[in-house]
Structure 1
Amino acid sequence: MGNCIQIQVPCESLYSPCQNYLGGKAGYVWKLEENLRALQNALDRLIEEKNDVERRVDLAEQQPQMRRLDQVDGWLTRVQAVQNEVVKLIGNKSEEIDKLCLCGFCSKSCKSSYRFGKLVAQNLAVVEELMQEGRFEEVAERDPDDPVDEKPNEPIIVGQQSILDKVWKCLMEEKDAGVIGLYGMGGVGKTTLLTQINNMFLDSDSDFDHVIWAVVSKELQIERIQEKIGDKIGLLNESWKTKSSEEKASDIFKNLGRKRFVLLLDDIWERVDLKQVGVPLPNIRNASKVVFTTRFIDVCSQMDVNRKFKVECLRHDEAWTLFQSKVGEDTLNSHPEIPELAEILIEECDGLPLALITIGRAMAPKKTPEEWKFAIEVLRESSFKFPGMQDNVYRLLKFSYDSLANETIRSCLLYSSLFPEDYRISKRDLIDQWVGEGFLEDKSGVQNEGYYIIGILLEACLLEEAEGNCIKMHDVIRDMALWIARDIEKEKEGYFVCAGAGLTEVPHVEDWNTVKRLSMMENQIEVLLESPTCPNLLTLFLNSNRLKLIHDDFFQVMPCLKVLNLSDNLSLTKLPSEISKLSSLQHLDLSKTAIEELPKELEVMVRLKCLNLEHTSRLYKIPRQLISKFLMLNVLRMLDCGSSSEVPEESVLFNNSELLIDELICLKSLNLLNISLKSSEVLQKFLSSQRLLNSAQSLCLQFLGRSKSLKVLSTDMKYLDKLKIMDCKYLEELKIDCVRRVQRTRRPFGFESLHVVEISSCSRLKDLTWFILAPKLNRIVVSHCAGLEEIINARKLGEFPEMTGNLIPFRILQFLELQHLPNLQSIYRTALPLLHLKEMYVYECPKLKKLPLDSNSTKEGTVLIKGQKQWWDELQWEDQATQSAFRPCFKSCW
């Protein structure tokens, strides 16, 4: 064996240094190269994933109010840390691989290789775990908004603080006030109020999660409302925009269903279906709220409001404060005359905030009286030329006009501008004129159609209610209507209005051919001499002047005239014979004139639909067969004709009025009749005609001779609205026969349409028990009936329990006047619920010691009781609570 050297190494000496990693952990060493390659590949993929996520985050964060999710931000941070660690490990790769021996199964430095291999394996596991975590569906979310976004706003308008407080109370305290409506005419300040409500949430401690604002406007777009809501509650993004309206509604409902919200909807023109939008309906459970503004009161009903508030125009003192704030103290104090001139401009605005603001700003730089006087002239004569009025005011209001359902309703509105500023327009007369113009068809029920249209205009806040079954037109609305009629649609409408202008003669018109509707009412014109050539004139208002004479030729060239109003000319005694030229006339109003005779020439007016002769006290002659010529007559008003004591005995109209009744019976188109009947014979003739009974709307019975009892079948006068009984000194009883109606329908009502009753100088009447058969009475006047002892007699009621047992008298009564009734002892036997009563007037009724009142009869503070102090002090009350309740209601008149 020679030179061989034998070296012996004990086995335990070789095993000992590696025994710690050969026992299940040797893989950290012998798999080191494989793990390093896997770690490099995994890191590359992780970096690619990180880059993709960062790009998605960058794109998301470019959208308003979007920020990355915290989990995404944390993941990116962890990825960067691991990337740094892995890069460092891979940087030591060569050095650690050089330590390996025995084909990689062992290491020259076992502990060092083990530690390095372990770090590689651990980082590989972390990288793979981060790869799994990085698969995000969403990488960003909308930043949590404040519950409310502040909106720029004008200061609260003086006079609107009260409504603001009421709405805020509904939002904060009244759990059952889920839906709240603010309504009023355009320019009155509804949006300002809603904005104030929005901004009040900024400083409130309310626990609403969201206060959402959305402008709706005339063209309702459900998806636009949804996007406003979606934007506020964090749903809006590019993908959500592509969803259908139904899907958006579902998302909104799911989101808001878990939250308490306030939804503010500005400028609603029609019902917004909250369910279709996706808004959960407010209720006591979810305590959410919806507040909206609208120009139409009927929208409040369509939206099922729990509370509604009308935003009114300002009172004068409030208007002055607002105007002053826009003009400025410097301008108002720049000349002593300017404050007085400012008052005139304020009056022209009629309390409309938008007009006050517009005119106030325009006048702020004007510091001489001359400038202010010129501004007043412009505003009165051509208000649309005043700076800002056309663009800022009229165009805004015109949206309401344009939104009216059809051309008929729009024409009816414009027609209302023929009357002077602040004029109380009779609804009844206005409807008659609409029929005469042809806006409405002369058919049965046309009055109801007219009232329906008036209701639409009232609901749109384009007309306003006024006392005495009247309406009025706000000055600025009237100016807007005239602007439309005279300038925007002048070719079609042709308005020329100089009502209430102080005229003493017919004004100069450059081109009469363009005039279709001419109003010269409420002036001081005494004589009409000039004969204007008006080939296209349709309506002529000459009422409420001082007319004494109309020249024969005045109507010579008005071939198309349909409506002629000559009423309230108290000195007009005669019509010109050339009125016969008005063969197209459909409406003739001669009421409250001194006309003594209707000329025979009127017989050419075969198209006449409405003839008003009311209160023509001196009218004594109507040619025979004249009325019967008006075969198209729909409305005939003849109350108080020939009532003057100066009417001659040979009066053709009244001594032979049975003949007049015969002529009326011939009028087959007659639907509405107001008439005075002054003898029992004429009355019986009238009662014998079913057509006339069906047409009767107002009836005055006077001088009924020696008739002690009057029997009327109430069901035959189902449209009777007003009944007057006067100077019937022998009349003891009015019998109302409604038995046939009861048997047929089991309804006990008699005069179902009767609203007004006036009875005077009927000294033998003992009671008025028949009132109980007029359930809709809202005005009762009884005077100078010496024998009257009771209004409702209990014994008579007991005779017909099947008819009257369930009836409550005076259920909707608003006004009760009792005068000179020396023996009146009782109105009704017990206290009544008079919830609509506004005024009671009692004079010279010494035996009336008790009123039908208890503490629950009326709403607190809603009734005014006028009378003599002594009578009031001697009244007997149901109890002390009743006396205390009504003590503040009394006003002494003597």
Structure 2
Amino acid sequence: MAAEVGLAAFSSIVSEGVKSLFKPIIRQISYVFKYQSYIDGLKDQVKQLEHKRERVEIPVHQATQQGDEIYKDVADWLNSVKEFTQGAAKSITDDEDRAKKFCFKGSCPNLISRYKLSRQAAKAAEAAASLVGKGNFSNVSHRPTPKLAEHIQVKDFEAFDSRMKVFQDVMEALRDDKLNIIGVHGMGGVGKTTIVKQVAKQVMEENLFDKVVMAEVTQTPDHHKIQNKLAFDLGMEFGLNENEFQRAERLHERLKKEKQLLIILDNIWTKLELDKFGIPTGDVAEKDRKDDQRRCTIILTSRKQDLLRIDMNSQKNFQIDALPPKEALQLFEEIVGDSTKISAFQSTANEIVERCGGLPVALSTVANALKTKELDFWKDALNQLRRSDAREIHGMQANVYTSIKLSYDFLESEEAKSLFRLCGLYSEGYVIQVSNLLRYGVGWRLFENVYTSEEARSRVHRLIDNLKSSCLLLDGDAKDEVKMHDVTHVVAVSIAAEKRMFNIPNVADLEKKMEETIRKDPIAISLPQRNIQELPERLQCPNLQLFLLFRKGNGPMQISDLFFEGTEELKVLSLTRIPFSSLPSSLGRLINLQTLCLDWCQLEDVAAIGQLKKLEILSFRYSDIKQLPLEIGQLTGLQLLDLSNCK
């Protein structure tokens, strides 16, 4: 019995051994007679690989469009897939017909070709399956960590002696690890921002600090905007539902991780509680520094020395003065760029420079306005600068206002002037989106002989270039953005008001201010960056053509059903961050409305838009809207519908 069991075991072992011995031989034979199965297997794997590649390429393309960086392993995988599908796999499938041909005058198959092709197909199928398995990526991209030194532009910095002295003094102060807060002050338009931008660039080039972050504060500090800019420079993002205090805590923890950190807060007007933004200061910063040699240094710029010294406790302050006469004339001549013209107009040029008071912002606007003009224009400009009735606004010197107004007057087209006034309806210090200028300009019919969206876009970009070349607009942080110097903004608001276009400031009694404005028969009203809970019951502006409300925050707000009664001439309406259960019934009376922007809003019933028969541009960007109403089909003239980033 034991012998039988042993024999059975021995037979089993021999059987398995024989199988393993013949398995490679069987596989080799199968390459000849099952070649079509191997080819089909390869084709199936290639098909699966193509599907997987499509699932990866779509988010990769979207990420690239947003400026994100693709992970290296994702890029390498896509390259491997491309090489495989265009190389080995394609070569094998192309050779399939050759393997099907018969030899010996058609009497038998070409066994050698089948064997080679089958074997190649089997190996290629395994490679394809491996690539499919490696193509499972949870994320394909990441937002690149911004490098301030790379995207910061300091094209207005001139290495004049007066500027280099301040620049070198600030750099020397930054090397003193006993200094935590450094102040830079001077009047508006003197070049404070330009100096600190150059400092930031130099600091990064010398690796004096591990990280440099910078944000503009302005007259009405917006905590979210400042926190967002600091977070962007750090390469971090906030959640949509995080409140101001949660954001401050997260930002504080992130800033503490940097061993050597420089924070620049530009253009402050009032005392700031830095800890509310999330910026470590005082005892906290000192404790961090002593504990592990960490260092956080802050540069503040302001027009007010006492604000820096007393309220913000800056330990060292540097004043930037107006350019001395020699440097002012040199800057003017460099911008004009025509030495022959300067020589011919020398006496006129000298007085123009003198009238600009040594302020770079005034010198650059006047020089850019005059550099292509002849003597009569220069003399006319000087006469305007000599005017004794040139106004003073918000403490601005009269000659500064006149110099900027002069550049505006010298704009070659009424369209450029209209666009400049439109920019004056934004809040001081805020970026201006070019796409919004396009939509408002089209709806308001600012552009002549423009019939398509593409033509309008080209016109807007040309006009913006015109305003930039006149130093009336500045480059923004992003491609689709522009900015306006705060001194220029004051002038823009004043010029716009002369044309009955009113930028209503953040006043306590909004209703009273609105009544005063309505009595002036406005054609445009803007309420920029306001914490508004309620508007007047009726607007009642019979000649109003444009109404903009850029609201801060997301709290409750009421707009009366009667609000738009008496505003039937309205052509452009933009309402931001407003919760609507339904649109005001009086909205349907706006029969001339051509641009409607309801961005960052909470929207439920929007059926009323079906009554706006002349509507050409409709935007719901970043809004919470579940579905479009059937009534949208009645908007037969609609040219642009923007649903980007809708929840």
Relative to the length of structure 1, the TM-score reads 0.33
Name whichever structure is richer in helix by fraction.
Answer: 2
Q: Which has the higher contact order (CA 8 A, sep 6+)?
A: 2
Larger radius of gyration: 1
